[in-house]
Amino acid sequence: MENQNWIQIKVLCSSKDVDKVSAVMSMVDNGLMIEDYSDVDQILNGVYGDLIDKAILEADRTKAAVSVFIPEIKSPAESEKFISNQLSADGIDFTIEHTGVSDSDWADSWKKYYKPIKTGEKLVIVPVWEKYNPEPGEVIVLMDPGMAFGTGTHETTRLCASMIEKYIENGDSVLDVGCGSGILAISASKLGAGDCFACDIDPVAVRIARENTVLNKTPNVTCEVSDLLKQVPVTKDGYDLIIANIVADVIIRMAPDVGKYLSADGHLIVSGIISERAREVTDVLTENGFVVDSEQYENGWYCASVKKK
């Protein structure tokens, strides 16, 4: 059996935020390494003070670090982007670094493992460097995600793609909030959507999404930088389908405003939500005039489609 290569993703943060950072990183993998010296002074008052390494004694008590180890086969770049998005949404001050692979190989180290992925009855996500012969009726989405989130390998992306396939109708207008690589808006277009507006707060993600729209020959997908809904154009009748594969806290924050962007009979697909927070999110959406139409779980992740009451 071939030896597995592992990549360490390390988040540096304030010691006061170490629990929140650990919670976010545990969404990627439960095997965490935590470096937190804020309680060293308490140990010094005990019987083990003389046994503590000098480097620990001299460590900054206000700083901490949390590491997760990702197998190379699992797209470490996508995991890092996911962690960064979650922490930014929570308003946590942090820096992130990785070791175990050279910077020049960072974005590409996992590509040899990234193969075509079927996400529903029709959709197949195909890496642009792979050759794939589609079966009759399959809809192919070519993807070169670069450093943006959205390869189709993550559960939340697959769940959303499956929901899009379920609800999209020919000519539907689509809004993709937090589009990452553009994978979901492009999928909607390939399934027959009309005008699609995809946005992300990250200019790099928007650039990659635009490149992927060219790759897939989907000129009806417009990609722009937007802080959630702030720069999204409001249409007369609203969007027929809105996709928000972000994080629970951001979806909760959007809940009071997203309704004015959705058509009367439209669907709002939400994901990026860990199972434990599913009810919290749907309760807030219910309070803001929505009702759950359908929901799915996969490996601890939750996705729902909601409609206006």
Measured in whole angstroms, the distance separating CA 85 from the mean position of its chain's CA atoms is 7
Q: How far apart are CA 2 and CA 29, in angstroms?
A: 22
Q: Name the most confidently modeled range: 118-122, 125-129, 151-155, 251-255.
A: 251-255
Q: How far apart are CA 205 and CA 226, in angstroms?
A: 11
Residue recorded with tokens 């720069």: 231
pLDDT of residue 49: 44
Q: Which of 159, 155, 17, 192 is nearest to 88 (CA)?
A: 17
Residue 243 has pLDDT above 80, yes or no: yes
Rounded to whole angstroms, the maximal C-alpha distance in the chain is 72
Which residues partner with 33 through β-bridges?
67
pLDDT of residue 89: 79
Per the model's pLDDT, the better-predicted residue between 278 and 300 turns out to be 278
pLDDT per residue over 45-91, tens digit each? 444 444 444 554 555 678 888 988 887 766 677 788 888 888 887 88
Contacts of 141 (CB under 8 A, 6+ apart): 123, 124, 125, 126, 152, 183, 186, 187, 190, 216
Quote the percentage of the chain above a pLDDT of 90: 48
pLDDT per residue over 183-202, tens digit each? 999 999 999 999 999 999 88
Q: How far apart are CA 86 and CA 91, in angstroms?
A: 9
Q: Which of 201, 45, 78, 49 is nearest to 145 (CA)?
A: 78
User: Is the torsion defined by CA of 191, 193, 195, 196 positive or negative?
Assistant: negative
Residue 106 has pLDDT above 60, yes or no: no
pLDDT of residue 39: 55
- What mean pLDDT is predicted for residues 246-251? 89
Amino acid letter at 1? M
Residue 26 has pLDDT above 60, yes or no: yes
Amino acid letter at 16? K
Domains of the chain: 6-105 (3.30.70.120), 114-308 (3.40.50.150)
> Are the beta carbons of 200 and 180 closer than 8 angstroms?
yes
pLDDT of residue 180: 87
277-283, Cβ contacts within 8 angstroms, sequence gap of 24 or more = 277/248, 277/302, 278/302, 278/304, 280/248, 280/252, 281/248, 281/251, 281/252, 282/306
What is the side-by-side order of every strand in the sheet holding 32-36? 32-36, 63-71, 6-14, 94-99
Span of 73-77, 168-172, 187-191, 261-265 with lowest mean pLDDT: 73-77
Span of 101-105, 166-170, 228-232, 285-289 with lowest mean pLDDT: 101-105
> Are the beta carbons of 201 and 227 closer than 8 angstroms?
yes
Q: How far apart are CA 151 and CA 77, in angstroms?
A: 10
Q: How far apart are CA 96 and CA 190, in angstroms?
A: 35
Span of 18-32, 137-151, 183-197 with lowest mean pLDDT: 137-151
